[in-house]
């Protein structure tokens, strides 16, 4: 990258939180200033933009982001299937940037598991070892061990056509495990499965990872998969790292509006409120219809930030908006708003409310309230905002000034 792109990049990625690994933790894979440009008719697509991530030994690291953000490209570059335009890949303290895929000690599992249909499960599992000329007793031993680990021992003599989707995916995983790689690379391995099986396999992957204890880099566009599987999660957007950290940290302290909106379901609400100073200090968030007083902490944050409060957007997660009728004394004029209930969706454990500031519905936002709530559709409801959970985003940079 040229100097000019570097410096402009430095300016607008000030919100990036990289959570650098501790020095006493062993780094297994290092993605080091990686950029990848694909040639096309219009002079190139910047698929990965100056990405650096240190992955610790044994860690389950998830790369998550919307379609086209550069996840697959990053993974394929680690695997050696793509050449970096800039930057390097390190595995086991070795710069592997110039090495062939088979020389890197990695095994990749794809979305499309493509088992050999004419081979049994045993033959499918043996194949990666046979082509590498392993002795047959070692092949047998590793296949048995892998089948055991994946709990598919009783399926060894079946053909793939006699397996369910989940079983096929397990065999595909097995083909990577038998090779005993130092690093697993997985590209949306569950996305061909139906929703229920996907959730089940997610749990199994967690268990398998605990047993195998191998460094894993896992790619998905599904934030729920990222949250449940990752020791740490790297959120990418347009080829750039937005935030890297443990799942709960991304949820509680999203560094910018992109991460705030991407992690969490239903997503965080962004309300078109003006942040206006109060006469005797402090601020309130005000729309045409309601106002919420900022906590002292949040007001101090706005002061410290020092920008124009009119250029802030208020973010609040659905579960931090509750039925005021159930809040007792905790609901006060400072934290309670009135909104029109458009739709109620009972989820069993919660009710999702689709709300708008007036019956006309200029915009909508979502609340996740207790199933005991008695609010009704097509009526106004009093809602209590958990003000300590409010986020404020700088409209210009997208940065969350509250973290």
**Choice from 58, 68, 101, 181 touching ligand ADP (CB under 6 A):** 68
**Choice from 17, 35, 72, 120 touching ligand ADP (CB under 6 A):** 72
87/357 with CB nearer ligand ADP: 87
Query: H-helix or E-strand containing 77?
Result: helix 71-79
- State the minimum distance, in angstroms, from the CB of residue 359 to ligand ADP: 41
Q: Which does 38 bind (CB under 5 to 8 A by kind): Mg ion, ligand ADP, none?
A: ligand ADP
Does the footprint of ligand ADP cover residue 73 (CB under 6 A)? yes
Q: Binding-site residue total for ligand ADP (CB under 6 A)? A: 12
Q: Which residues contact 350 (CB under 8 A, 6 or more apart)?
A: 319, 368, 369, 370, 371
Q: Which does 363 bind (CB under 5 to 8 A by kind): ligand ADP, Mg ion, none?
A: none
CA 202, chain centre distance (Å): 14
- State the minimum distance, in angstroms, from the CB of residue 124 to ligand ADP: 26
Dihedral sign, CA of 306, 307, 308, 314? negative
**Choice from 6, 22, 38, 103 touching ligand ADP (CB under 6 A):** 38
Does the footprint of ligand ADP cover residue 45 (CB under 6 A)? yes
Residues 65-94 within binding reach of Mg ion (CB under 5 A): 72
Does the footprint of ligand ADP cover residue 47 (CB under 6 A)? yes
Cα-Cα end-to-end distance for the chain: 30
72/243 with CB nearer Mg ion: 72
Residue 302, CB-side half-sphere exposure with 13 Å CA sphere? 28
Taking the C-alpha atoms of residue 283 and residue 124, their distance in angstroms, rounded to an integer, is: 65
C-beta pairs of 9-13 under 8 Å, 24+ apart in sequence: 9/49, 9/50, 12/397, 13/240
Q: Which residues contact 311 (CB under 8 A, 6 or more apart)?
A: 394, 395, 396
- State the minimum distance, in angstroms, from the CB of residue 72 to ligand ADP: 3
User: Which positions lie near ligand ADP, rule CB under 6 A?
Assistant: 38, 40, 45, 47, 65, 67-73
User: Which positions lie near Mg ion, rule CB under 5 A?
Assistant: 72
């Amino acid at each position: 990258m040229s100097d000019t792109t570097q410096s402009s990049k430095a300016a607008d990625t000030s919100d990036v939180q990289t959570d650098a690994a501790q020095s006493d933790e062993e780094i297994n894979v290092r993605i080091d200033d990686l950029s990848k440009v694909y040639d096309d008719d219009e002079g190139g697509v910047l698929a990965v933009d100056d990405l650096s991530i240190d992955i610790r030994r044994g860690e389950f690291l998830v790369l998550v982001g919307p379609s086209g953000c550069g996840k697959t490209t990053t993974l394929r570059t680690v695997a050696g299937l793509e050449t970096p335009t800039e930057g390097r890949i390190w595995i086991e303290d070795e710069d592997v940037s110039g090495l062939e895929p088979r020389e890197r000690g990695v095994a990749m599992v794809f979305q499309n598991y493509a088992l050999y249909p004419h081979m049994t499960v045993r033959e499918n599992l043996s194949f990666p070892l046979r082509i590498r000329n392993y002795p047959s007793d070692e092949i047998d031993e590793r296949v048995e061990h892998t089948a055991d680990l994946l709990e598919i021992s009783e399926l060894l003599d079946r053909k793939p056509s006699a397996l369910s989707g989940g079983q096929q995916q397990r065999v595909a995983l097995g083909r990577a495990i038998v090779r005993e790689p130092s690093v697993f690379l997985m590209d949306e391995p569950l996305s061909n499965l139906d929703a229920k099986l996907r959730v089940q396999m997610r749990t199994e992957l967690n268990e398998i990872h605990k047993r195998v204890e191998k460094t894993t880099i896992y790619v998905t566009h599904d934030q729920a998969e990222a949250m449940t599987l990752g020791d740490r999660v790297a959120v990418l957007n347009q080829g750039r790292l937005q935030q890297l950290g443990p799942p709960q940290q991304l949820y509680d302290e999203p560094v910018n509006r992109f991460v705030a909106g991407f992690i969490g379901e239903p997503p965080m609400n962004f309300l078109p409120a003006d942040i206006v100073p109060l006469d005797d200090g402090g601020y309130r968030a005000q729309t045409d219809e309601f106002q919420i007083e900022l906590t002292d902490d949040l007001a101090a944050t706005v002061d410290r930030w020092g920008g124009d409060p009119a250029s802030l957007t208020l973010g609040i997660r659905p579960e931090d908006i509750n039925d005021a009728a159930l809040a007792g004394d905790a609901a006060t004029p400072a934290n309670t708003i009135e909104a029109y209930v458009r739709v109620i969706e009972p989820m069993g454990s919660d009710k999702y409310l689709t709300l708008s500031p007036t019956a006309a519905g200029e915009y909508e936002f979502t609340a996740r309230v207790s199933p005991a709530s008695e609010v009704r559709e097509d009526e106004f409801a009093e809602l209590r905002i958990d003000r300590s959970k409010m986020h404020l985003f700088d409209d210009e940079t997208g940065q969350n000034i509250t973290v």
